[in-house]
A = this chain, B = another copy of it.
């Protein structure tokens, strides 16, 4: 039968699917994305490793969080995240709040024995990230940093190609994450250094750093310029960096909120001795692949044998941005259920910490005028 047209509905067996209670902090952009992820994975990634039960959601505005609970199907809402930590029915703590609210609640939840997922960047700087990682690691729970772009099918396909050696020795990575809304004068927590830690760097740049590490390997050196265009703003608006990788590749890493006309242009390219691949998040269902010959092939990553696509639709029926969260949270539940590890395909808190070290080195390089060598601490330093 045509791959995908006859969507598989054969019974997978009537075994019980175990539930897991989820408590979520935050109900705005990321909260919506995560809530949607939990709801969809339960029937689309069928059968799910665990069936999410949306137990409780926390937020400071009582009316708003109550409405969010009603909307997304949480059984209850609370206005203090400590109630999530104290709630015995919450087995998984999902921190979808702003960066400044990552450390304390996440650590408390882990210490209360709950598995944790935390939005990226893991914290406002490397030190805070390190403390979270060390604390959570010590608590012995499953931990995941929500670098969701690892779960784009085209990105996972790229990783598979790289692991298989299809590209040969890697010479270059160039990644840039461009958006265009930085000139707004509205008050957004993302512009507040106390809440966000950094600007485009932690918000967008951390994604570039994480995928660079996931796809090419560890970054060892950065030579960077960090820039704030908007007068009076306390966080960066953009940065530019030349980087070197452990394996010998060199490249550039950039992010900006001042790239007019670029809405969500997280584009990267990898050049190897045998071929190249390129990607743009504005066309997330496509991977550009050169096998070293006469041009790039636009692979529409919607075949049933492409990563994650067996869960979805027939060939050519594309998925959207939000699906990355379905894939990511399914991976998390698989780890909690003992089916898989978070690493290497999911980002652990160590990955979150390492991305933060690299981001800090970018800031330092811009200030020092030197090319900075990145060094990482171990879990017990």
Which A residues have a C-beta under 8 Å from some C-beta of B? 1-3, 5-7, 9-12, 14, 27-29, 31-33, 35-36, 39-40, 43-44, 46-47, 63-64, 66-68, 70-73, 167, 171-172, 174, 176, 178-181, 183-184, 186-188, 190, 221, 223-225, 227, 229, 238-244, 248, 250-252, 254, 256, 258-265, 271-276, 281-286, 290-300, 302-303, 312-323, 365, 369-371
Let me know if B223 and A365 touch, CB within 8 A: yes
Let me know if B314 and A183 touch, CB within 8 A: no
Let me know if A297 and B296 touch, CB within 8 A: yes
Let me know if B225 and A172 touch, CB within 8 A: no
Number of this chain's copies in the complex: 4
Task: State the Cβ distance, A56 to closest chain B Cβ, in Å.
Answer: 16
Let me know if B221 and A263 touch, CB within 8 A: no
Tell whether A64 pairs with B242 under 8 Å between CB atoms, given A176-B174, A258-B171.
no
| Complex contacts, A67 vs chain B, CB 8 Å | 9-12, 14
A274 closest partner in B (C-beta): B260
Task: State the Cβ distance, A157 to closest chain B Cβ, in Å.
Answer: 10
Let me know if B2 and A316 touch, CB within 8 A: no
A172 to B258, CA, bound (A): 8
Let me know if A27 and B9 touch, CB within 8 A: yes
| Complex contacts, A28 vs chain B, CB 8 Å | 6-7, 9
Let me know if A316 and B282 touch, CB within 8 A: yes
Task: State the Cβ distance, A317 to closest chain B Cβ, in Å.
Answer: 4
A46 closest partner in B (C-beta): B71
Let me know if B297 and A294 touch, CB within 8 A: yes
| Complex contacts, A171 vs chain B, CB 8 Å | 229, 238, 256, 258-259
Let me know if B238 and A260 touch, CB within 8 A: no
Closest 10 CB pairs of A and B: A264-B316, A261-B290, A263-B316, A320-B320, A223-B223, A11-B67, A297-B297, A240-B242, A319-B320, A317-B321
| Complex contacts, A167 vs chain B, CB 8 Å | 260
A178 to B178, CA, bound (A): 21
Determine which of B36, B224, B295, B302 lies in contact with A297 in the assembled complex, contact meaning CB atoms within 8 Å.
B295
Most chain B CB atoms below 10 A, which of A225, A248, A302 = A225
A35 to B9, CA, bound (A): 13
A169 to B250, CA, bound (A): 30
| Complex contacts, A282 vs chain B, CB 8 Å | 285, 300, 316, 318
Let me know if A1 and B187 touch, CB within 8 A: yes
Let me know if A29 and B43 touch, CB within 8 A: no
Let me know if B238 and A66 touch, CB within 8 A: no
Let me know if B240 and A251 touch, CB within 8 A: yes
